[in-house]
Amino acid sequence: MKTVKTTFEIEHRLHARLKAMAGRLGVNARDLVAEGLELVLARYDGAGDQQELAARAKAARERLRAGYFDGPADLSETYETRLLIAAQPITPYQP
C-alpha cells in the first residue's frame, strides 16, 4: 500500500492523549490516526443519503398527518356509533 506523508497541527493535549492511548494499545500513533480517519470518513460518506432519507421521511410524515385530518370532522360520533352497535346483545338463533 502506498502512503503519503502529511503534516498537520493538533493541540498538545490531544497529542498527549493520542500517544498515551497508542502506548496502552501497543500500536503507534500513526495507526490510531489512520483508524480515526477511516471512522470519520465512513461516518460522513453516507451523509448525503441520510439527508435524502430524512427529507423523504419528513414528507411521508406530513402526508400521513394530512391524511388523519382529511377525515370526518367529528370522528368520535362515528366510533361511538360503532361501539354501541357492537355492544348490542346477540340474540340466539331460533329456527
Largest distance between two CA atoms of the chain: 95
pLDDT of 57: 81
pLDDT of 74: 56
pLDDT > 90: what percent of the chain? 27
pLDDT of 40: 83
pLDDT of 11: 94
The angle formed by the CA atoms of residues 55, 59 and 60, to the nearest 5 degrees, is 115
Higher confidence at residue 84 or residue 41?
41
pLDDT of 90: 64
Specify the pTM.
0.48
